[in-house]
Chain A
Amino acid sequence: MSLLKIQDLKVYFNARGKTVKANNSIDLEIRENEILGLIGETGCGKSILGRAIVGLLPDNVKIGGKIVYRSEDILNLSENGLRKIRGKNIGIILQNPSAALNPVLSIGNQISEIYRYHENMGKKEARIRTAKMLEMVGIDPKRMHEYPHQFSGGMKQRVMIAMGLALNPGLLIADEPTKGLDPTTKDKIIDLICELVINKNMSLLLITHDIGVAEKMCDRIAVMYAGEIIEIATIKNILSNPQHPYTQDLLNSLPKKGLNQTAGESPSLSSPPAGCRFHPRCRCIIGKCLKTHPQLMETEKGTSVRCFLYGNN
């Protein structure tokens, strides 16, 4: 069953006269109870995709396509309708928790305001719920009166998780939740998110830089390149048989750290290469890659790829 269905999503920025195609014709489905990983190098449009799903994009943006949550197209919702979806149906953990928490409000207040606003709870009741939530993410509820700067990076991330899950949304989007954390903390945070998501029968869109993390947790993985999905496959398929040359490069780089193992520069999103976006860096390039743009096509059960080497593309 599909929980969220993105169809032909286009997010274009208008930056200094240039059009930056941050998301270009994205088709993506997130199923019930699924953990879907979204990987790709910095600047390829992952965060923009996550933010588009909750309608949290900057003003200078043009957006097209469909984002259907259950049966509602998010892109057709009014600001008011969006507010009801945010937090309640779709929670998002933004990247960079140190900047994502308000420095002058206690963390307890920053969580309890969610209950007070969405569920019209009184102060006391909201505080009890906040305490429960903090306990769930492994923070001593006594610390609810403390302020963000009194927490470590990992602890701030736990606060962000508590905020994202406060209302038991059907879908959680976690944008690079382990970035900047040390390896032990990283594992704990990932385990925590996955445990909670699985216990609550939620779905998770896990945006990550860390292919190791994705491999460990996800049911399926979508690989993004230059604003497009270039491969989407079950974890089993992608590990045993990665098809897109870029995906292969990524997986080969696994023992080393980070994703930027492919030679060559990241493509510009305002004037991307013609034909296949990846062709300037591709080691398997064939003639038509230079001029024709490949489509995302199912090549075997559980795998779709955007590459001329496969199927009848």
Chain B
Amino acid sequence: MLKYILKRIFLVFFVVIGVTIVTFSTMHLAPGDPAEVIAVARYGDDLTQEQIDWVRVTEGFDSPVYIQYLKWIKHVMHFDLGRSLVTSHDILEEITIRLPATFKLAVLSLVISLCIAVPVGIVSAVKKNTVIDHLCMSAALLGVSTPNFWLGLLLIWLFSLTLNLLPSYGYGNFEHLVLPAITLGTSMAAITTRLTRSSMLDVLNQEYILTAKAKGLDEKTILLRHVLKNAMLPVITFAGLQIGFLLGGTVIVETIFAWPGIGKLLVDSIYARDFAMVQGCVLFIGILFAFTNLLVDITYAFLDPRIRYENT
């Protein structure tokens, strides 16, 4: 297993390098002169050529691209992502301030999603092609095809405007978290339910389930001992991927509920043309995603003996 983990870490290393290159390029491959873009953000639309040249020299845009990249990497490695073009705040600090909000929302939505999806998916599979299964799958289909923004607005309308039970936006206590977490959680649950069901059905059709039946074990024992452990492997992987996505901020839901997470920071920065901040966010999200994936891979190794006892 050590070999497997080392291999993954090695891979993540390359992924992170890739992420930095892509992030760096977005700044430079974007149409227009980056010096001009920054100058606009800094001095407004009425620019003189001197101002642009000044930015070009001070920001190092006159040196070759690879030198610029290496310089930037050096800063990044010292946890220096630069400063916002608009507010001059430290970018990493801005991001880490937003992290708790995003983290809370991510974890609660994932918990909600799994609490719905796993039991429903299991029941659906066990009661395959019955009314219960059809109901569950119709609900899941509805969930998949309902856009987040629409569900969010619907929930706001129902719970905030009509019933007056929960705040419609903002950040603070648990009540603020409920609606955005339900919006995200239920929409994710829809996909995870389908995955759980198909994974269960896949395992139920395996020959080792027939062996378990041939031993005379009862349904419950077979389900708990033989089916679940196998069927949950892909679900866990998927949940890991989802948490990776969620930690990168959920642009739509955070925007609808004015939730001050990383997704909202990213959107706000795009509107403010704060390219340095956008670059910082994208880099941060990319690296976070790579590391959550690594974590998922390692967890998977612990759960699947075929990897755990891989010959090294």
Contacts and interface: CB of A to CB of B under 8 A. Distances in A.
Interface of A: 54, 56, 82-88, 91-92, 94, 96, 99-106, 113-114, 117-118, 146-147, 149-150, 160, 163, 166
B213 interface: yes
B226 A86 contact: no
B207 interface: yes
13 contacts: A56-B213, A83-B216, A83-B217, A85-B216, A86-B213, A94-B210, A94-B214, A96-B207, A99-B206, A100-B211, A113-B217, A117-B218, A166-B215
B218 A83 contact: yes
Nearest to A117: B217
A29 B211 CA distance: 24
B305 A117 contact: no
Interface string B214-230: 11111001000110011
Interface in B247-275: none
A92 B207 CA distance: 13
Contacts of A147: 305-306, 309
B215 A104 contact: no
**Closest A-B pairs by Cβ, 5 of them:** A86-B216, A87-B216, A99-B207, A147-B305, A102-B208
B59 interface: no
A205 B309 CA distance: 36
Contact of B230 (A87, A104, A117): A104
B211 A163 contact: yes
Interface residues of B, number: 23
A92 to B, nearest CB: 5
Q: Please classify the interface of chain B as helix (H, G, I), strand (E, B), loop, or mixed, using the class held by over half of its residues.
A: helix
Interface of B: 206-208, 210-218, 221, 225-226, 229-230, 233, 303-306, 309
Nearest to B304: A104
A87 B215 contact: yes
A262 to B, nearest CB: 29
A87 B214 CA distance: 6
A80 B99 CA distance: 54
Contacts of B221: 113, 117
B177 to A, nearest CB: 36
B216 A84 contact: yes
B303 to A, nearest CB: 8
Contacts of B229: 104-105
Contact of A88 (B207, B216, B218, B233): B216
A100 B215 contact: no
Contacts of A100: 207-208, 210-211
Given A96-B207, A104-B304, A147-B306, A114 B215 contact: yes
A150 B308 CA distance: 11
A56 B207 contact: no
B211 A103 contact: no
Contacts of B230: 102-104
Contacts of B214: 54, 56, 86-87, 91-92, 94
Nearest to B229: A104
B228 to A, nearest CB: 10
Q: Which residue, B206, B217, B233, has most C-beta atoms of chain A within 10 A?
A: B217
B208 A103 contact: yes
Contacts of B212: 102
A146 B309 contact: yes
Nearest to A91: B214
Given A102-B230, A149-B305, A94 B216 contact: no
Nearest to B211: A100
Contacts of A113: 215, 217, 221, 225
A102 B226 contact: yes
B76 to A, nearest CB: 41
Contacts of A87: 214-216
Nearest to B308: A147
A104 B207 contact: no
Nearest to B207: A99
Contact of B207 (A94, A105, A118, A149): A94
A129 B221 CA distance: 20
A248 B37 CA distance: 89
Given A86-B215, A105-B229, A99 B309 contact: no
A221 to B, nearest CB: 24
A126 to B, nearest CB: 13
Contacts of B226: 102, 105
Contacts of A149: 305-306, 309
A3 to B, nearest CB: 18
Contacts of A101: 208, 211
B210 A56 contact: yes
Contacts of A117: 215-218, 221
A105 B225 contact: yes
A147 B303 CA distance: 13
Contacts of A99: 206-208
Contacts of B309: 146-147, 149-150
B68 to A, nearest CB: 50
Nearest to A104: B229
A160 B214 CA distance: 11
A150 B306 CA distance: 8
